[in-house]
Amino acid sequence: MPIRHASVITLLLVLSVLTAGPVPRAQAVDAWRITTGSITVVCPLTIGGRFEATSTAIDGTVRVDPDGSSALTGSLSVDLSTLDTGIELRNTHLRERYLEVGRGEGYDRAVLTEIALDGGPAATFSGRTRFRGVLTVHGVSRPVTGDARLESTPSGTRVEASFPVHLPAFEIAKPRYLGVGVKDDVEVRVSFEAARSVLQG
């Protein structure tokens, strides 16, 4: 290639880069990352009364779409092997016989995804609202709906939420011990603090 021809091509390439403008940065996305939290599963008994299974092993990160959407992407989850009912034998039965956490992925954690708030844009909402999501437990995914309260804090957001879970829908065997069982419907209560950060989408 002649030197003059090569110089012209080089000049054109340089000019095209200079006139193209800066390369656009990835769009910033708000995210909430759980820092502390707890979950309580209220289990009513067939003979009356109830017991609670609790855990603080809750974590996850969700992203808030910048377009004002009510939807959150990402997931929240809890380690089911940490659920504590206050009685060791009942813990063993719950974890091993009914939740079957030893089967691994899909069984060892409860995961909530596809979360959406009915009250308005997730990035700015504060107050009480209904919400929707998809819960995966015992290897089965089902839609759930519930109530939530969101409150802004200096570092992020405080969330309190509750929703019912119909155990047969997740193919969980009816918990029974010495003729006493858990009713088909339990209530999940979740409370957590989430720190706000900005991620590059």
List, in sequence order, every beta strand (DSSP E) within 27-174: 28-44, 50-55, 58-64, 71-79, 109-117, 127-137, 140-152, 156-166
pLDDT, one tens digit per residue, over 118-162 is 988 877 788 999 999 999 999 999 999 999 999 988 888 999 999
What letter represents residue 40's amino acid?
T
Contact by Cβ (8 Å): 63, 116: no
The mean pLDDT value for 3-18 works out to 41
**Confidence band, pLDDT 50/70/90 cuts, at residue 17:** very low
Sign (positive or negative) of CA dihedral 176, 135, 157, 82: positive
CA dist 180 and 176 (Å) reads 5
* Angle, alpha carbons 87-79-124 (nearest 5°): 120
Percent of the chain with pLDDT over 90: 65
Question: How do the domains of the chain map onto residue ranges?
Answer: 25-200
Residue 24 in this model has a pLDDT that exceeds 80: no
What letter represents residue 131's amino acid?
F
Mean pLDDT score across all residues of the chain: 85
**Which residue has better confidence, 177 or 57?**
57
Predicted local distance difference test score (pLDDT) of residue 30 = 80
CATH of the domain spanning 25-200, picked from 3.40.50.300, 3.40.640.10, 2.40.128.110, 3.30.70.260: 2.40.128.110
pLDDT, one tens digit per residue, over 39-93 is 999 999 999 999 999 999 999 999 987 677 888 899 999 999 999 999 999 999 9
> pTM of the full predicted structure?
0.81
Predicted local distance difference test score (pLDDT) of residue 3 = 45
Residue 165 in this model has a pLDDT that exceeds 50: yes
